[in-house]
Amino acid sequence: MSNHINQLVNHWFTHKDECQWVLATVISTEGSSYRKPGAMMLINDLGQYFGLVSGGCLESDIIRKARRCLVEQINSVVKYDMREEQDLAWQLGIGCGGMVEILLQPILEQNSWLGLETVHMHMNSRTACSYKISLSGDIPDNQVLALANIEQYKKNPHHRVYSRTTDAIELILVPSPHIAIFGGGVDARPLVNLAIEMGWEVTLIDHRAGYARESEFPRASRIVNIRFEQINEMNWFRTIDAAVVMGHNVTFDAEALKLLQGSCAHYIGLLGPVHRTEKVLAEAKLARTNLPKQFANPIGLNIGGDLPESIALSILSEIHAYMHQSDAQSHANILMRHNEDKGRNH
């Protein structure tokens, strides 16, 4: 199970009556921290936790404090500060050098399950929502509000702080990315599996006999074996964020590209070298210069390697960077350039 809000609330909803639960949310940080405000974790009275609010160094202590939260049935705020040598964070061996505050909330019927049933509904209907978390010491309801224009929030498809007051923190919760993969050959297996591991929704499409078999893609969210002209009417087609075309057949790939021009995908990638792509575009009667969608070809980041697993990592890394509006540069290189610029300015 991934750490995305979709998987967290789905797991809680499935098991919510089997044990008692606490919601842990990072509400503020200063300096270096592994997770940022808005990160969530669910803890039950069996000592199990799902999600992360640190790199794994705080979780055992948070579980201990969550038990007290359940007994007292009130919200509590836990603060770990590596800037203070007397703080518990030093005993836990945290090395990030920053401060993190975490709100613990018991998930109870009398506080309407903190609105998580409604969050669960929105995530599974692929609707963005505003999630307002109370920071007061009692156990008021958290508030959930559907957001109509999901597209403006898909620029960064993870929970992020929208606003913060002394009484509440408001998060924007967005469903996990939905990737459509056109082509169910053997090289699509690692792409499907890696995307699922990241918590993405994955639809695999291939109407050709012998391709996209369920036995070969047991982890795919859905497998679609119908012809392209029928796909426009499918509900899932209206929710895709990115698409990869890898059918290894010029006609198949051309038909997929034509179909995707009318989709809501922000990113469309085509596997194969440029000279082959020109044949695919000619077959589809499309031109690079006037494609209405972001088109990636050759697809993927230049990370080296030619194994299917390396190619899958390259493709998903590029899609991830695009959706997060990141330049996909090495953090070490960014820091080095920053230090060089700082040195020139002094």
Domain extent listing, the chain: 5-173, 178-323
Is-cis flag, bond preceding 298, omega within 30? yes
Q: List the pLDDT tens digit at each of the 346 positions of the chain.
A: 678 889 999 999 999 999 999 999 998 888 777 778 888 999 999 999 999 888 777 888 899 999 998 998 888 899 888 755 554 444 444 555 678 899 999 999 988 899 999 999 999 988 888 888 888 755 556 777 766 555 555 555 445 666 788 888 888 888 899 999 999 999 999 999 999 999 999 999 999 999 999 999 999 999 999 999 999 989 999 999 999 999 999 999 999 999 999 999 999 999 999 999 999 999 999 998 888 788 999 999 999 999 999 999 999 999 999 988 888 888 777 667 666 666 666 6
* CATH 3.40.50.720 matches 178-323: yes
Q: Could you tell me which of 181, 189, 179, 215 has the C-alpha nearest to residue 307?
A: 189
**Residue whose tokens read 């005993």:** 91
Partnered with residue 270 across adjacent β-strands are: 245
| C-alpha–C-alpha distance, residues 314 and 302, integer Å | 7
3 state DSSP class of 66: helix
